[in-house]
Chain A
Amino acid sequence: MVSKKRLSLVIGLIGFVAVLGLAGTSWAQATIKVGGELPLSGPTAPTGALNKEGMDLAVEIINNKFPGLTLPFAETEGLPGLGGAKLEMIYADDRGDPNVAMAEVERLIQQEKAVAILGGWQSSCIKTGSMVAERLKTPYISGAGSSVDLTKRGLRYYFRLLAHSGKVAKAYFDCVQDMEKKLGKKYQKVAVAYENTEYGSVMNEQIENEIKKRGYKNVASIPFDSTATSVKLEVQKIKAANPDVFLQIGYDPDAILFTKTMKTFNYTPPVWFGMAGYTSPKYVPSVGKDGNGVLVSGWFHVGFNKPVTQKVAAIYKQKYGKAMSIPVALNFMAPFVLADAINRAGSTDREAVTDALEKTRLTEEQNIMPGPGIWFTPKQDPPEHSHDNEGVSMLVLQIINGKVEVVWPFDYRTADIIWPHPSWDKK
């Protein structure tokens, strides 16, 4: 006959263990919901899909064991500081439209209860998406988004991993001046053709700053519509201005259009810099050898010979059957930065995570991108570059024999730079 006291003690004990067990397992099986805002339809959908691959791979590395990889949480399953809790990405399609971006980020935060938002590709979408996140006091980390304006707003909850457009412009002209030293030349005239939305016009401003700072002469500054069906007039004006250095800032379609049109006019400047569109997978197949010689600022290159970068590139190649490209790499680090912050904060409370984000310090080995690491400029007054990634730097790439190679900084190169730009028949 078991006494009532004994029985109740046993039941209590069983109950206590059960609750402990449940709590333990529920914590261990807890997923941390993270929102991903990307253009999954519309003109930049292919790039959006690549972004997603990068984020998915990052989450897979965090959530599973990848021994020997020096990225944060690669060796563990999930976040050790939260009992092995894993990240779960919930994606929303912003369709490349800032209004949709706004609505979708709101939905991710309020309906899906995302702890933070990662992503965005177009600066205009990141602008509105992060604005919503700010209003709802939720961290937003973007690996893309080159507009200076994004961090000029001085927002508390917004963090940017990408090298901002000021750094891009700086890289272009550092490269030019390095070559000037090497060749014993001095260039004078610079011309810019830029697509006339947010992205292009901000980039143009930064280039103009560099031109002024370094004493060059701006001989043409031509905005164009990136959806335009013809750039003949633009090319004619550039040709008439006869610059030493020509920079073409735009997207995929106009990169191809400019190349074709410059060929029609049989015109090549001594130095031809492009941006973004020239490293898209469509460019070389479309223009063939006509694309050889173009220099492109690169945030990333799959041949970049840091060990951790090469390891990740191999994993990606095995999983997706293709070489890791820039859109994949840009948002790849975002889940790691977030996971690191959540882990240090020890919770998913948004204020704690945001405070932890401000103190982020990832090293060179913990990050696949070029540069000494990842850490953010503090929010400051005036709010120039608040929460911009100070640890990142840019590469200059060049299309050589139909392949994209790293040519600058010279120490990281995978091929020797071709300079000046070859004429059409010599490509």
Chain B
Amino acid sequence: MDASLILQLLVSGLIVGLLYALVAIGLTLIWGVTDIINFAHGEFLVIAMYFGFWTYALFGWSSIIAMPVAVAFLAALGWLVYRFVITRVLKSENVLSQIVVTFGLSIFLQSLFTFVFSADYRSVDHDPWIRGDLQVGNVFLSVPELVTSILSLIVIFAVHFFIKNTNTGKAIIATSLDRETAQLMGINTDRMNGITFAIGIACLGVAGVVLPVFTHVSPYSGFLFGVLAFTIVALGGFGSIVGTMLAGLIVGLIQTFGGFFIEPAYKYLCVFVLYLLVLMFKPRGIFGW
């Protein structure tokens, strides 16, 4: 067992963990503030992935150029989904239908992708700017995944900063802590919900756009990311950005180390078994409140 192997696994685990963390941040924000679990979260990630692919396939853009467009598009989409779908189920106060509506949305989106894009696997094979492989000592990684991780880290910190230090961000925190009091204090909680949704989905724009460069996208790619995101949020405790990021990194590491030392086919199994175990002893998650 040599040190370079451990180092390689560490680096791989952190890289994928940061990606997961970014995907999960959006989810935890939405969950913490609106009390809605967006079970279609994975599918919005897939929208970002298709964005990255089609701007390359049709215009030859590097995925990095597509990113701001994707972010703007997804932010708008998130806000629209909130406005026209989520507000109604929130009013009905029926928990089951709140869960089910986003599941229905997820199935709808998956089928939409199949219908419009076909079920083929797509990847960005020759991105003009984001490409190449790096070797640092005995650690190997590819440039696209490094880029994604760095961007994820930046965005996570940006969101955290925004939430903690801006007025809007503080209003969002207030809404998530106690909705009625926030309303009494004059905060437009409905607007806060909408903004949160927009931010949460927009994060996926950053996470997803470069993915097709080092992996592939298909209509069903969202499922695994979605389930992992839910697990991370539940592990990290809903609403806690720091908790979610740490949980994301932990999941990335477990997946990598568990997958290598037990069996690559069991890499996700390790994550889920751990999740179920944590649940038994700490139902609110490791850092939950």
Contact = CB atoms under 8 A, between A and B. Distances in A.
User: CB–CB under 8 A between A and B in the complex?
Assistant: yes
Interface of A: 41-43, 45-46, 196, 222-225, 227, 229-234, 236-237, 240, 252-253, 256-257, 260, 263-266, 285-288
A232 B259 CA distance: 10
Contact of B256 (A42, A233, A252): A233
A153 B260 CA distance: 37
Given A46-B120, A233-B267, A264-B140, 4 more contacts: A229-B221, A230-B16, A231-B264, A266-B140
Interface stretch (B24-32, B149-157, B211-219): B211-219
A288 B215 CA distance: 16
A105 B152 CA distance: 49
Interface residues of B, number: 32
Majority-rule SS of B interface residues: mixed
B121 A260 contact: no
Contact of B119 (A45, A237, A240): A45
Contacts of A287: 125
Given A240-B5, A264-B142, A43 B121 contact: yes
A43 B8 CA distance: 33
Contacts of B265: 196, 222-225
A345 to B, nearest CB: 40
Contact of B259 (A41, A227, A233, A240): A233
A43 B12 contact: no
26 contacts: A42-B119, A43-B119, A43-B120, A43-B121, A43-B218, A45-B118, A222-B264, A222-B265, A223-B263, A223-B264, A224-B265, A229-B215, A230-B215, A231-B264, A232-B12, A236-B8, A236-B9, A237-B264, A240-B5, A252-B121, A256-B216, A264-B141, A266-B133, A266-B135, A266-B140, A285-B125
B148 to A, nearest CB: 12
Given A232-B12, A236-B8, A265 B140 contact: yes
Nearest to A229: B215
A287 B260 CA distance: 26
Contacts, number: 70
A62 B9 CA distance: 59
B123 interface: yes
B260 A233 contact: yes
B100 interface: no
Q: Which 5 A-B pairs have the closest CB atoms?
A: A229-B215, A233-B264, A253-B121, A233-B259, A264-B133
Nearest to B220: A227
A263 B133 CA distance: 8
B140 A237 contact: no
B47 to A, nearest CB: 16
B224 interface: yes
A253 B122 CA distance: 9
Contacts of B214: 260
